[in-house]
């Protein structure tokens, strides 16, 4: 029998020092799906773009099977890509959105993403970034043209190389792996990672319950002036212990 997990959650979003919040997010509590999207293109367009992505993810009919749901969620992102791209073409504006989506099924997870919204996993003392930013600067790092420290300070550090709605075609990255008891996932927009270091984020995830961690991470961004909207979803995984099946119950 597969192991399964119960999830404890914290989700917060704040406009920071911006006038409006162009981030959107969703918690599909009964479906074990969580997502953050960060819109761009000026407020009305950016908010509409990120909400269009989140609406598509919210409406996706899921099966509870990891591989199938991964494909269904990818199709939802592609449908949002078409809708945003067509709206942009009609209004002669460039608008778009990032997305990072996490889905948990039994003892496995899948994470899909486009852009620079990130997923992290805290497992014991290890804090790893599951996603790889689709930014021009990250592309330069991977081609050996820039080191990581220079990348963070680079003036073009937030220029996306890939976003939902910008082009008619879109490729989506995904990572799948096992879940372990005690795993804590974080989904966030770049309003957090632009002002907080990995170690500061990991400290809060390892010492606070998900709701308190989500609030504390947003407060950390606000304390630092929050130049951008900030959205975080924290998902902690507790293994569900099942009573052993009685002897002879299975053939």
Chain contacts with Ca ion (rule: CB under 5 A): 38, 189-190, 228
User: By C-beta, is 54 or 60 nearer to Ca ion?
Assistant: 54
**Angle, alpha carbons 189-131-124 (nearest 5°):** 95
Contact 172, 107 (CB under 8 A): no
- In 3D space, the residue among 177, 202, 221, 231 whose CA is nearest the CA of residue 26 turns out to be 231
Which lies closer to Ca ion via its Cβ, residue 62 or residue 221? 221
Least CB distance to Ca ion at residue 191 (A): 5
The answer to whether residues 99 and 35 touch, using CB atoms and an 8 Å cutoff, is yes
- The whole-angstrom distance between residue 141's C-alpha and the CA centroid of its chain comes to 22
Specify the residue, 69 or 190, whose C-beta has the smaller distance to Ca ion. 190
Least Å from the CB of residue 48 to Ca ion: 15
**What is the 3-class SS of 188-203, one letter each residue?**
ECHHHHCCCCHHHHHH
Contacts of 18 (CB under 8 A, 6+ apart): 226, 227, 228, 229
Q: How far is the CB of 231 from Ca ion (least distance, A)?
A: 9
Residue 190 CB, nearest approach to Ca ion (Å): 5
Record the tokens describing residue 163, joined without a space.
Answer: 């976003």
Nearer to Ca ion, 51 or 104 (CB): 51
Compute the least distance from the CB of residue 44 to Ca ion, in Å. 16
Q: Choose between 56 and 163: whose C-beta lies nearer to Ca ion.
A: 163
Nearer to Ca ion, 190 or 216 (CB): 190
Beta carbon of residue 228, minimum distance to Ca ion (angstroms, whole number)? 4
């Amino acid at each position: 029998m597969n192991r399964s997990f119960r999830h404890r959650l914290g989700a917060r979003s704040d406009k920071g020092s911006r006038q409006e919040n162009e981030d959107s997010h969703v918690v599909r509590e009964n479906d074990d799906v969580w997502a953050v999207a960060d819109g761009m293109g000026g407020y009305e367009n950016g908010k509409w773009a990120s909400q269009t992505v989140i609406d598509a993810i919210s409406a996706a009919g899921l099966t509870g099977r990891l591989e199938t749901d991964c494909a269904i969620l990818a199709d939802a992102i592609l449908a949002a890509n078409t809708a945003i791209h067509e709206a942009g073409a009609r209004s002669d504006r460039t608008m778009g959105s990032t997305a990072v989506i996490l889905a948990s099924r039994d003892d496995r997870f899948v994470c899909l993403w486009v852009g620079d919204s990130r997923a992290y996993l805290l497992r014991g003392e290890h804090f790893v970034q599951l996603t790889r930013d689709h930014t021009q600067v990250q592309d330069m790092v991977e081609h050996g043209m820039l080191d990581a420290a220079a990348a963070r300070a680079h003036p073009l550090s937030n220029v996306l190389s890939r976003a939902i709605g910008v082009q008619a075609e879109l490729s989506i990255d995904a990572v799948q792996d096992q879940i372990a008891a005690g795993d804590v996932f974080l989904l966030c927009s770049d309003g957090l990672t632009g002002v907080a270091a990995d170690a500061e984020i990991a400290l809060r995830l390892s010492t606070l319950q998900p709701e308190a961690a989500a609030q504390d991470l947003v407060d950390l961004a606000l304390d630092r002036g929050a130049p951008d909207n900030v959205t975080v979803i924290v998902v902690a995984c507790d293994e569900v212990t099942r009573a052993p099946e009685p002897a002879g119950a299975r053939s």
